[in-house]
Amino acid sequence: MTTNDPAQSPLPDSVDGMVTQTPTEHAETPIGPTTLAELKELAGRYPQSRSALLPMLHLVQSVQGRVTTEGIETCARILDLSEAEVSAVATFYTMYKRRPMGTHHVGVCTNTLCAVMGGDEIFERLCGHLDVGNDETTADGAITLERVECNAACDFAPVVMVNWEFFDQQTPESAIDLVERLRAGERVASPRGAQITSWREAERVLAGFEDGRVDEGPAAGEASLAGLRIAQERGWEAPPLEEDSGTGRGGETKQEAAAEADTQRAEAETVAEQSPADVEGGADDD
Amino acid sequence: MTDVLTPVLTANWADDRAWTLAAYEAHGGYQALDKALQLSPEELVELVKDSGLRGRGGAGFPTGMKWSFIPKDNPNPTYLVVNADESEPGTCKDIPLMMASPHTLVEGVIIASRAIEARQAFIYVRGEVLHVVRRLRAAVREAYEAGHVGTDIHGSGMDLDIVVHAGAGAYICGEETALLDSLEGRRGQPRLRPPFPAVAGLYASPTVINNVESIASVPAIVRGGVSWFGSMGTEKSKGHTIYSLSGHVKRPGQYEAPLGITLRELLDLSGGMRDGAELKFWTPGGSSTPILTAEHLDVPLDYEGVSAAGSMLGTKALQIFDQTTSVVRCVLRWTEFYKHESCGKCTPCREGTWWMVQILRRLDRGEGQPGDIETLLDLCDNILGRSFCALGDGATSPITSAIQYFRDEFEAGLTTPSAELFPPSASTLFAATALAGKGAAS
C-alpha cells in the first residue's frame, strides 16, 4: 500500500534482460476511450472537478483491478493535478488497492464486537483454509482476504463482507462454505443485498454507475426490525402526527392534485400500519 | 406518557419494497416536503430549532442552531452535506435506515436544503456498503424523476441537486472537516477550526454537515410539529431515536424509542442477556464513549443522563459484553482500531495510539511490566484534549474507563494472558448457540 510497491513501478520488471510481466498484468484492461469518457463524466458531476477523485479511483479499480500507475496518471491529467497529489489520495484510503486483487474481496470484521462474537476465529480459520494471510490473494486468484474494521452491522455480528455486501451471523463453517462457493463460481446472494458479482463490478457501482440490482434483497434484515416487530406485537407506536390541516396551500401547482391524493392514501395507510400483515412481502424479490 | 417503543424512522422498514418511491409515498412520504415548501427558510429553521432536535451523530449539537449559523450575506453558494460515513465501532443505525428507507433521508435532505437555502447537497456514504449505495442512488434518481429534486421543485421555484458520493475506507472521514477534505478529493484529514464549516466549509463556502438520522428526523418533525416531537423524550433530549443493541443479548437489533429509555428496559425488550450470561460492561454510544457497567443499567439514555454517568450518549450504539469477555482484549482491539485509523496529522494521536497499542499488547499477552497501567493513563492524559480532533480523545475513552472499572484485569496482564483468564471461544455467537442448544444463528 505504499508508493514503493514494486507492482507500482513505472518501468516493466526486467529479468536477465527480458521484459516480463506478472500474470495479473495481463488481466488489466487499458484505460480506453469509454473509461476515459466515464472518468470525465464523473468529474463533471461536481461543482469542482477534484471532488470526483475518489469515485474516479473506484472506477479505475473496476477497470484495472487495482489503482495502477496508468490510472493515477489519467486521473491527474483529467483533474489537472500532479501525479503525487493523486497518489497521496490513493494511498490514504483502505479501499484502494495497489496490488492486484482477486476476483472476490472477502472482508472479515475483526473490530472488537465482531472479534469477540467470533470474527477472530472466522478470520483464522479462513486464513488456514485459503492458505493466505491478511490482505493476500489465493493462488487461484479467486479470493483476496482482508481483516476489515467495523462495517456498521454489529447487530448481525459476526459479519463477513463479500465485495462489500453483508453476510450476517457467520460461523467458521459458514464462512468456509461461502468462500468455497465463490471459488467454484456458484451463484451466491447476500442475505441483505444482491447477487454477488465481482469486486470489480462492485467498484463500478461505488464509482457512480447503477447496475440494475437495487431491487434485489429485502428492505431489512431481522435484527434491523427487532424493535419494530415488538412494537407491532404490543401495539406500540409513536404519537400520531398532528397533520394540521391549517396549512393553506396558497399557490396551486400541477402536483397539487397528486399531493391531495397521496394524503388520502396515506391516511388509509396510517390505519393499515397497525397491522403487521404485510410485513413479509419484500422477501420474494430475489 | 408515550409507548415504550416509538417507531418513526423505523416504522416502514418492514414494508414491501420499502426502499422504492411508491412504497415511501404510500406511507405518507414527501408530504412533509409539500408542507415545507409552504414555509419560508426562516420558518423551517425556527421549527427545527424549536423542536429541540439534537444531532444524532454523536455530539448532540442542536440541529436547528447549526442551520441558523449559515451567514445570509456570504456571496458563495451554501452546501448541505450529509454525514453517512457511519463507522464508529458499534454504530449500525444509519446503514439499515438508508438500506430500507433511503427516501426518508432524501426527503430530509430536500427540506434541510430549503431551510439553509442550499442548491446543492451531497450524501457522503462510506464505500464499504455496496447495497446501501445502490439504494441511495436509486432513491435520488427516483426523486429527480418525480420532480422532488431538480429545478423548480413542485413549482416552488426551489432548485436542488443531490449527489451520492461513496467514500473509500477511512474512519476519520466521519469527522466533519475531514469529510469535507475527502469530499474535495483530498486525503481525509481534519481542518483547523475556526473557521467553522458554517462559514468556510466545502469549497470554502457556507456548509451544514448533519448526520443521517438527524436529517431523516426532519420530515416527521415538519409533519408532526414541535409539540408532537417534544411529546417524546426528556426535557433537554427531545424526540425519538434509534438505539442499536449488539453483542451478548438474546435479540440484538435496532430499537427506536423516546430518548431517555434505560438499558434495563432495552435489555428487557431484547429478551435479556444470552442464556447464562451476566452483563459485564457496555458502551452507551460506540467505542469512543467511556464504557459503563451493570451499575449503570438505570441511567436514562439521553444526552444529560449518560453524561452525568461519566460517559456520552454518542451514537446510541450499545455494545453489550458478558462475563466471558476480557476487557483487556477489547480495549486492545479498540486501540488498534484508533491507531489504524489515526490520520497522522497530529503527533499526540499518531504516536500516542501507537505506544498505547504496544503496552496493551503486552498486557494482553500477560507480559505487562510494572508501571504499564500508569504509563497508559499518562499517555491518555497527553492525548485527551491535546489532539487535533476528536479521534484522539475517543481513543482514550475505552482505556481510562476500563482501568477505572476493571483495574484488576489490567494488573493481571502483568502475569497472565487474557486468553487464559477469558478463553475467547466462550464469547462467540456459535459458543452461545452450542451451549444453549438452539439455532439462534439462523
CB contact under 8 A, B129 and A151: yes
- Boundary (domain end) residue, out of A149, A172, A198: A198
- How many beta carbons lie within 10 A of that of residue B442, not counting itself? 7
CB contact under 8 A, A192 and B220: no
Residues spanned by the domain of A73: 6-90
Asked whether residue A98 is domain-assigned, the answer is: no
Rounded distance between C-alpha atoms, residue A192 and residue A208, angstroms: 21
Per CB-CB distance under 8 Å, the chain B contacts of A237 are 3, 6-7, 11
Domain B327-426, CATH number (from 3.30.2350.10, 2.40.37.10, 1.10.10.10, 1.20.1440.230): 1.20.1440.230
Rounded to a whole number of angstroms, the distance from the CA of A51 to the nearest CA of chain B is 4
Q: Which of A217, A226, A249 sits opposite B131 (nearest CB)?
A: A217
Asked whether residue A120 is domain-assigned, the answer is: yes
Q: Are residues A83 and A132 in the same domain?
A: no
ipTM: 0.95
Per CB-CB distance under 8 Å, the chain A contacts of B220 are 241
Q: Are residues A194 and A108 in the same domain?
A: yes
Per CB-CB distance under 8 Å, the chain A contacts of B156 are 251, 253
Asked whether residue A265 is domain-assigned, the answer is: no
Closest CA to A179 of A106, A102, A101: A106
CB contact under 8 A, A237 and B11: yes
Rounded distance between C-alpha atoms, residue A25 and residue A189, angstroms: 29
Return the CATH fold of B21-230.
Rossmann fold (3.40.50)
CA–CA–CA angle B332, B338, B341 (5° rounding): 140
Q: Is the minimum CB–CB distance between A258 and chain B shorter than 8 Å? A: no
Q: Residue A82, class by beta-carbon neighbours within 10 Å (0-12 exposed, 13-18 middle, 19+ buried)?
A: exposed
- What residues form DSSP beta bridges with B273? B249
Q: Which of A153, A223, A278 sits opposite B16 (nearest CB)?
A: A278
- Boundary (domain end) residue, out of A90, A115, A139: A90
Query: B347-364 and B327-341 helices cross at what angle (nearest 10)?
Result: 150
The number of C-beta contacts closer than 8 angstroms across A and B is 353
Per residue in B25-69, pLDDT (tens digit) is: 998 999 999 999 999 999 999 999 999 999 999 989 999 999 999
Asked whether residue A30 is domain-assigned, the answer is: yes
Q: Classify each residue of B247-284 as buried b or exposed e, where b means 16 or more C-beta atoms within 10 Å of its C-beta.
A: bbbbbbbbbbbbbbbbbebbbebbeebbeebebbbbbb
Q: Is the minimum CB–CB distance between A57 and chain B shorter than 8 Å? A: yes
CB contact under 8 A, A152 and B86: yes
Q: Are residues A113 and A186 in the same domain?
A: yes
- Boundary (domain end) residue, out of A198, A216, A241: A198
CB contact under 8 A, B427 and A226: no
CB contact under 8 A, A157 and B245: no
Question: What does the pLDDT profile of chain A (286 residues) look like in tens digits?
Answer: 333 443 443 333 333 333 333 444 446 789 999 999 999 999 999 999 999 999 999 999 999 999 999 999 999 999 999 999 999 999 999 999 999 999 999 999 999 999 999 999 999 999 999 999 999 999 999 999 999 999 999 999 999 999 999 999 999 999 999 999 999 999 999 999 999 999 999 999 999 999 999 999 999 999 999 999 999 999 999 999 865 543 433 333 334 434 444 444 344 333 333 333 333 333 333 3
Q: Are residues A118 and A55 in the same domain?
A: no
Residue-range domain boundaries for chain B = 21-230, 240-322, 327-426
B155 Ramachandran zone, left/alpha/beta (phi>0; psi -120 to 50): left
The grid cell for B235 is 426535557
Per CB-CB distance under 8 Å, the chain A contacts of B80 are none
Asked whether residue A221 is domain-assigned, the answer is: no
Per residue in B149-195, pLDDT (tens digit) is: 999 999 999 999 999 999 999 999 999 999 999 999 999 999 999 99
Which residue from A minimizes the CA distance to B442?
A169
Q: Please give the model's pTM, rounded to 2 decimal places.
A: 0.90
- Please state which CATH number belongs to domain B240-322: 3.10.20.600
The grid cell for A189 is 446472494
Q: Is the minimum CB–CB distance between A272 and chain B shorter than 8 Å? A: no
The grid cell for B246 is 449488539
Where residue A161 sits, what CATH number does that domain have? 3.40.30.10
Which residues contact residue A230 at a Cβ distance below 8 angstroms, ignoring those fewer than 6 apart?
A: A236, B5, B255, B269
Domains: count for chain A: 2
Q: Are residues A73 and A111 in the same domain?
A: no
Where residue A41 sits, what CATH number does that domain have? 1.10.10
Which residue from A minimizes the CA distance to B39?
A247
Asked whether residue A132 is domain-assigned, the answer is: yes
